[in-house]
A and B are shown apart, each in its own frame.
Chain A
Amino acid sequence: MAGLATSLGAGAATNSLAQMHDIDTIFLFGSNPTEAHPIVSIHLKKALKKGAKLVVGDPRQTWMARRADVWLNLKPGTNIALINGIINVILKKGWENKEFINKRTEGIEELKAKVKEYDLKTVEKITGVSQDNIVEAARLYSQAKNGMIVYGLGVTEHNSGTENAMAIANLALVCGQIGRPSTGIMALRGQNNVQGSSDLGPLPATLPGYQSVKDDSARAKFEKAWGVSLSSDIGLKSVEMLDEAIKKRFKGLFILGEDPAQTDPNVHEVRHALESLEFLVVQDIFHTETTKFADVILPGASFAEKDGTFTNGERRVQRVRKAVDPVAGKAEWEVISEIATRMGYPMHYDHPSEIMDEIASLVPIYGGISYGRLEKESLQWPCPTKDHPGTTTLYRPPGNDNALHRPVLKAGRACEIYPPGPETLRRNCRKGISLHAYYRPDTRALQ
């Protein structure tokens, strides 16, 4: 159902936004940041003012497309063909970064064989983009000192988001445009805390911090901290919970701050499922379609009414601070704690900073983060220890950095580049050969 969101759910941008000023070639794909992400577009505009080249892949003639050196006005849904075509041109012309490929990746021969099908004529036919433009885009990106791919979800088809991400990763890897400042891949997403909410594991297959529920040692760590034994069975995804509700096997649901009865593509099914539940609790700041199905509606606190953190699209963990009192007197963290306590599992925190301390003790990529530090500095994960400065650029060359963010690039089943976690990788694996890169925190070193 939510193929795209799922595939990007564990995604993380490889670099930071401020590095955008020093990009030499921007490859903007399927994103209209002038409208959807105005502040990102301000950073990109600064690069443009400094003379950056701009390649835009988008069927829409956006603000950026109008100013592009090359506008690839592809037919919707032909992204993968276009990117593979560009990779093919790069390999044919010898524009690839051979040193990077040799040292950091495997599987180039398979990739070569695969993208061969995408010769210029074929790609022009599929995508509608002229051959000259394809070659020029390939040249501008591959030959740039620092090329960054910035992509959004605008034109990615829902059922092949993962393949899209893979193709984009391959393009960056072939050109060695990754692992340095002002290179890499930035995915622009919608809601404010997409990153943090996937990092912190309200997910059926992973404990907080992308640690698999199947991983005995990870589970043992959480069991010790939480004082209970934990299930090693992968839980139900949201769709599955709803399916099971219709079948009357799933009975009770707590929905925090979401409105599936309005936003889900299959609203009819969802509403039927919500009706079928025995007991539904919804906490939100406004009445929604979903609250109409609730047995209990709880008032939520807006971001101005509570303390906490959000993690932005560049992995930066930032404070949310309470400016006014919650309208109904309680913030969500208090409500969740009180429900747990009333159900016989005492949960008590005096302040959300204590929750962050607990997160830091259990989630290696957040290991060095605390409210105290966030008062003084800005931190991007991975930040494993109290004296680690955080990480602005992922996938730096080995030896250049500590073990935590050493990239492993290898051939085989293609996987998306988006880190991290074996479960995500497994879920996103597709048959087919290409390069892949994944982020593997060496958690042993951290414990």
Chain B
Amino acid sequence: MSDKKLKITINGKKALCGKDETILDAAKKAGVRIPTLCYDERLEPYGGCRLCIVKVKDVHKPQPACTTRVKDGMEVFTETEEVRRLRKNILTLLLSNHPNDCMTCEATGNCGLQSLAYEYKVDGKRFAGETWDLPIRDDNPFIVFEPNKCILCGRCVRICNDVVMAGTIELTGRGFDSLPDTAFGKPRSLENCEFCGQCVSTCPTGALLDKKGMGKGRPYELTKVKTTCSYCGTGCNFFLNVRDGKVVKVTSDYDAPVNQGNLCIKGRYGYDFIHSSERITAPIIKKDGKYVEATWDEALDLIAKRFAEILAKHGPSSLGAFSSARCTNEENYLLSKLVRTVFKSNNVDCCARV
């Protein structure tokens, strides 16, 4: 196995790359952006959309950067007039059968198609041809499918089959009528789908959407806060999307060391509890057998007073604390410190099992 680096040039600039790299990988490393639509780093390259075509010197036809491996001495040009024209043609075709309702589309600002149309100045009016007019599929609690916006990039189908291996959706039908759909067009349900939302996370357009986040804000109106999932010990990272003090959506963090943007139903859709109306919102004190709301000062004073009394009267062995495997490291540490320094015993245990 040789680790020898291959030398190529991209737009005249030298780049070193490994032998298993594609032109797209090499360009990314060199900071050169090549447009893509069917590419997702979580998936095997597919070579379907042809948006990533580039000119390779001494090769007659433009080559898809996502599937073409680098060769020593290769000279790559990513922005020739020819490849730009071809990309524009592809985009024009895609937009000719697209609703173009970006004004109200949920994906505006986060849509691969929209940003490429902007970049290549394609408005979709020129070759208006036969268009789809299929009903929106809003038939389950988590995922909305708007077939008219599908560009058949196959990403949803590939992530569902190759990464999640759930086999929920397939490209069904042929040619103009093909669509990513469930078997027999049945609604997604827990019987045929994991509701991991992986398909939504990879869709480059507004065809697949997180239902719970719809209408709650455009990407640029949301503040993204990177955090770690609170459900299981895998420790996936994701972004909480916040608007006006409310978590309205969870989106993927592709740099996450554990999950690389992948999530399960709990991490992606299990955030409702944060703003549940059943949350305890104020300290509560039992007074004469009845629970009454109290201020923090009242509650904390009472706690300190009662614990101190018990400690004085019955000694350190009479006080203790249970901690939880759901709390943060810092909380667990502090609780342990409280017991050891203030309660003066080692009566602290984590009562989690499993």
Contact = CB atoms under 8 A, between A and B. Distances in A.
A362 B353 CA distance: 26
B165 interface: yes
B281 A328 contact: yes
Interface stretch (B10-18, B67-75, B227-235): B227-235
B345 A233 contact: yes
A297 B291 contact: yes
B213 to A, nearest CB: 14
A297 B302 CA distance: 12
Interface in A182-226: 188-205, 207-208, 213, 222, 226
Among B235, B242, B286, B311, residue most surrounded by chain A Cβ atoms (within 10 Å): B235
A193 B329 contact: yes
A270 B134 CA distance: 58
Give the interface size class of chain B: 35 or more
Contact of B303 (A40, A226, A339, A345): A339
30 contacts: A18-B258, A38-B196, A39-B262, A192-B325, A194-B354, A195-B233, A200-B336, A202-B332, A235-B339, A251-B314, A252-B319, A253-B321, A253-B322, A254-B320, A255-B321, A256-B324, A256-B331, A256-B335, A257-B327, A260-B322, A264-B351, A286-B279, A299-B279, A302-B230, A304-B247, A308-B329, A312-B228, A328-B280, A340-B338, A378-B257
Given A253-B322, A278-B310, A281-B303, A336 B329 contact: no
A95 interface: no
Consensus secondary structure, chain A interface: mixed
A202 B336 contact: yes
A197 B319 contact: no
B330 A359 contact: yes
Interface of A: 2, 4-5, 9, 17-18, 36-40, 42, 45-46, 49, 153, 188-205, 207-208, 213, 222, 226-228, 230-231, 233-238, 241, 244, 249-258, 260, 263-264, 278-279, 281, 284-287, 291, 294-300, 302-306, 308-314, 316-325, 327-330, 332-333, 335-340, 342-345, 347, 352, 355-356, 358-359, 378
A373 B338 CA distance: 27
A373 to B, nearest CB: 14
B351 to A, nearest CB: 4
Contacts of B353: 2, 4-5, 263
A319 B247 contact: no
A252 B227 contact: no
Interface stretch (B105-113, B150-158, B293-301): B293-301
A303 B281 contact: no
Contacts of A313: 233-235
Consensus secondary structure, chain B interface: mixed
B11 to A, nearest CB: 30
Given A296-B283, A309-B329, A235 B354 contact: no
A228 B233 contact: no
Interface of B: 162-165, 194, 196, 223, 225-237, 240, 242, 245-247, 257-259, 262-265, 271, 273-274, 276, 278-286, 291, 296, 299-304, 306-308, 310-311, 314, 316-342, 344-354
A324 B245 contact: yes
A355 B330 contact: yes
A304 B274 contact: yes
B237 to A, nearest CB: 7
